[in-house]
Structure 1
């Protein structure tokens, strides 16, 4: 998404805490002596292949979305471009954004709302350098517990629904789908919690439903008999772009050849992951802690290999429509064109 997974240390899907990013950004701004758009002080000089930098530090999470990144590193695609890509695990997408703005990361992985919020709040000039993950049918599911009173989407109105955060793709996707189906999204009682906590909350009846992503959809179905109520990636949110890679405008301007090399290597892996899910399944136990059986059963979203403005524009428009940001952001201005 990006739709986050905030605070989860195991494999999670692409939803992120928009409120968390705003808090993190606010804290960052108040730190004296911190350059909001500063490049890393240890930037290397010109390198082989004519790159401005050979070493690039990328903030990551142990989530399904990042399978192509790990594939590119494992198969030597970054090496072939003259890049030494260091992966630095961060607690969340917003925290990765925070570190990127502060100069501790060159590139950050996050759900798109975090990038768009930073841009809308004028905290930083953020650029999207590559896509990571997009929703597919049944990859963002509103699940009900075995004894939940919810049996269809209209019955979600007025109920308690677990989401990773409010003001993010997590709750906005539910609101959008419920509204489209004739429900009353404004009456839903959203209960923020981390994905790993949702299965137990459903089983105890603490919430009536939960917005889950993989591998938690598969696990909840298998462990407690959770049942689907609503595909949150349907209707207006079908195939919604969820997460990608961002950098500051200053980093992109100073390192155009380095960014292009990163894009080329990653796009090669994105295409392979999209065409052959066995490559994704093989990597998930290694970096995401998902067992082989679950990896073979879970539903995968898509791994886009383009940066198409019209499609990505759906994310800021959704945030604007539900009042998360108070202005229309033109995502085209944030996109770094892909190399030919």
Structure 2
């Protein structure tokens, strides 16, 4: 059974407001089993028995999670002795709240949210697996045909839609603009969900929008939107966008279930290694990211990582520090459990 949480216990009143708003925004781009009881079976996972055979994973309907669903459908988690229940969350904040309060074991996240939370000691987050790194065409500033926003130097003074401040939708474009000597601090960033951006551009409420796939392709198809510049270029080329995270600490999943995490990593890594098979990914886009078949055929497919490397994700933490979102240094390596790799 595919479960959907949009309210209830996941809406905890923890001190994560800024972090939660960041996650809600940046989601780039997202066998269905029931039950959440801990398993004490003899299922083996590499170095020992799986501590919890049934786990809940919070996901969003975005292209980033296509390999995760492939792993579910192909039975890769079952091969590792895991029963994985995808829980479709109503928002990024709900997913993060879900792992903080124990409703979820693992959650898909856009990196700025857990990195910010880690830096402010909201909780001790562990990055279980890397999800997606942006290729050219995945994170794009677009504008309607009649907009005066035609090139990066036009950006100062313009109204550009983003999902939220201190997210990949404003940090990555600001980095590109800064590198090109453009006054990024003079851009009027307007916060709204991705689905609202096309209408806002059409009605002249904004001059452009920072979109991620599949919304880049949708904006081009529905509005005739044209790219102004790529947000994943220059200093942000191939920047990691998202991953799967868990919380560690006394009684927390990332501490109590290392073998379960290792099994999850192996299964997901196997699926992500197949992400170059475009027809397989398109099927997942249509079924789970809810895009039509024609759009799925046009979507830019970015890089789905088969390894978990702190130095790559450190780029996101450094970007956040550069623009004052994170104060001081954050060592991403401390967030990698056992410095392991997925798919191995």
Query: 1:245 Cα deviation (Å)?
Result: 0.3
Aligned to 1:194: 193
Query: 1:47 Cα deviation (Å)?
Result: 3.7
Relative to the length of structure 1, the TM-score reads 0.87
Tell me if the contact between 1:150 and 1:156 (Cα under 8 Å) persists in the aligned partners: yes
Where do 5+ consecutive residues of structure 1 fail to align? Answer: 1-6, 8-16, 25-39
Aligned to 1:338: 341
Q: Return closer, same or farther for 1:324/1:151 CA change in 2, 3 Å cut-off.
A: same
Query: 1:321 Cα deviation (Å)?
Result: 0.8
Where do 5+ consecutive residues of structure 2 fail to align? Answer: 1-5, 7-15, 24-34
Q: Return closer, same or farther for 1:105/1:136 CA change in 2, 3 Å cut-off.
A: same
What's the C-alpha RMSD, in Å, of the aligned pairs? 1.9
Query: 1:246 Cα deviation (Å)?
Result: 0.4
Aligned to 2:10: none
Aligned to 1:33: none
Query: 1:118 Cα deviation (Å)?
Result: 1.3
Aligned to 1:264: 266
Query: 1:23 Cα deviation (Å)?
Result: 9.3
Tell me if the contact between 1:174 and 1:232 (Cα under 8 Å) persists in the aligned partners: yes
Relative to the length of structure 2, the TM-score reads 0.86
- After TM superposition, the structure 1 = structure 2 runs for residues 64-83 of structure 1, keeping only pairs within 5 Å, are 64-83=63-82
Aligned to 1:12: none
Matched residue count = 309
Q: Which stretch shifts more, 44-53 or 298-307?
A: 44-53
Large movers: runs of 4+ above 6 Å: none
Query: 1:22 Cα deviation (Å)?
Result: 6.3
Q: Return closer, same or farther for 1:111/1:197 CA change in 2, 3 Å cut-off.
A: same
Q: Which stretch shifts more, 60-69 or 48-57?
A: 48-57
Tell me if the contact between 2:309 and 2:341 (Cα under 8 Å) persists in the aligned partners: no
Tell me if the contact between 2:22 and 2:167 (Cα under 8 Å) persists in the aligned partners: no
SS in 2 for 1:206: coil
Aligned to 2:319: 318
Aligned to 1:48: 43
Aligned to 1:131: 130
Superposed CA offset, 1:63-115 (max 9, x none): 10011000000000000000000011112223211110111100010101111
Query: 1:45 Cα deviation (Å)?
Result: 2.3
Query: 1:46 Cα deviation (Å)?
Result: 3.9
Aligned to 2:282: 281
Superposed CA offset, 1:291-320 (max 9, x none): 111100111111011111111100111111
Tell me if the contact between 2:130 and 2:307 (Cα under 8 Å) persists in the aligned partners: yes
Query: 1:48 Cα deviation (Å)?
Result: 2.0
Q: Return closer, same or farther for 1:18/1:297 CA change in 2, 3 Å cut-off.
A: farther
Structure 1: distance between partners of 2:36 and 2:143: 49
Tell me if the contact between 1:179 and 1:185 (Cα under 8 Å) persists in the aligned partners: yes
Query: 1:261 Cα deviation (Å)?
Result: 0.4
Query: 1:277 Cα deviation (Å)?
Result: 1.4
Q: Which stretch shifts more, 316-325 or 87-96?
A: 87-96
Aligned to 1:143: 142
Superposed CA offset, 1:136-180 (max 9, x none): 011111001111111110110111110000111111111111111
SS in 2 for 1:244: strand
